[in-house]
Amino acid sequence: MRVLGINGILSDGSTSTDLFIAKLKEAGHNVVDFNYGKVNVVSARWKQHKVGKQIFDKHIPSNDCVVAHSFGCLAVFRAMQQGAKFKKVFLFAPAMNHKVTFPYHAAEQIYVIYHPQDMAIWAGANLLLNHPFGRMGRKGYSGPEDSRVFSIEAPLDGNDWLKHSTFFEPHTLDWWAAFVHDLLPEPAG
């Protein structure tokens, strides 16, 4: 089993998901830093499906787990719609519609970590017309009842004025990485 780290837009993950998967690697997990190239606010509109296809094409076998942030969550959802099957999925501040229906086959468990005051999610959902970004990162999951999906409200702490990436700050990173580690299957070996 591998753990894929999938970052958000305007980032290579070095200040977000890469920090997470480094902690998971220290704990013995087989990790993959999934790089999908440059995506900005405008190109995210049409690259969401392309990045989803890249994830789908590269994530074989189907027992991988995922740690994704913001746009990376939307790309993981698009991979699920294309047939990707994951074991456990951790969506941090997902920039996607909070009322989606996750495909039945897509994952054994999905954890949505959100913050009601996330300003980046608010801006993406309210200021970008006809954009795929939504409110899940502020509201949690509120789609059809699904026993696989768990919404977890993150506490308000940290220095991130947007309240979008507090999970990756030095004082919270260890806690969130331990949270993910404790829910992942035991590392092999």
139 part of a folded domain: yes
Question: What is the tally of structural domains in the chain?
Answer: 1
For residue range 28-84, list pLDDT tens digits in order. 999 999 988 888 877 888 888 899 999 998 876 667 999 999 999 999 999 999 999
Question: Across-strand partners of 114?
Answer: 153
**Which letter, b or e, does each residue of 110-141 get, where b requires 16 or more Cβ atoms within 10 Å of its Cβ?**
bbbbbbeebebbbebbeeeeebbbbbbbbbbb
For residue range 124-174, list pLDDT tens digits in order. 777 766 667 888 989 999 999 999 999 999 886 666 656 667 888 888 899
168 part of a folded domain: yes
CATH number at residue 57: 3.40.50.1820
189 part of a folded domain: no
Confidence (pLDDT) at 133: 85
Confidence (pLDDT) at 53: 92
188 part of a folded domain: no
User: What is the pTM for the complete model shown?
Assistant: 0.93
Which structural domain range is residue 173 located in? 2-183
Taking the alpha carbons of 15, 41, 91, 63 in that order, is the dihedral positive or negative? negative
85 part of a folded domain: yes
Confidence (pLDDT) at 60: 64
Distance CA 2, CA 77 (A): 18
114 part of a folded domain: yes
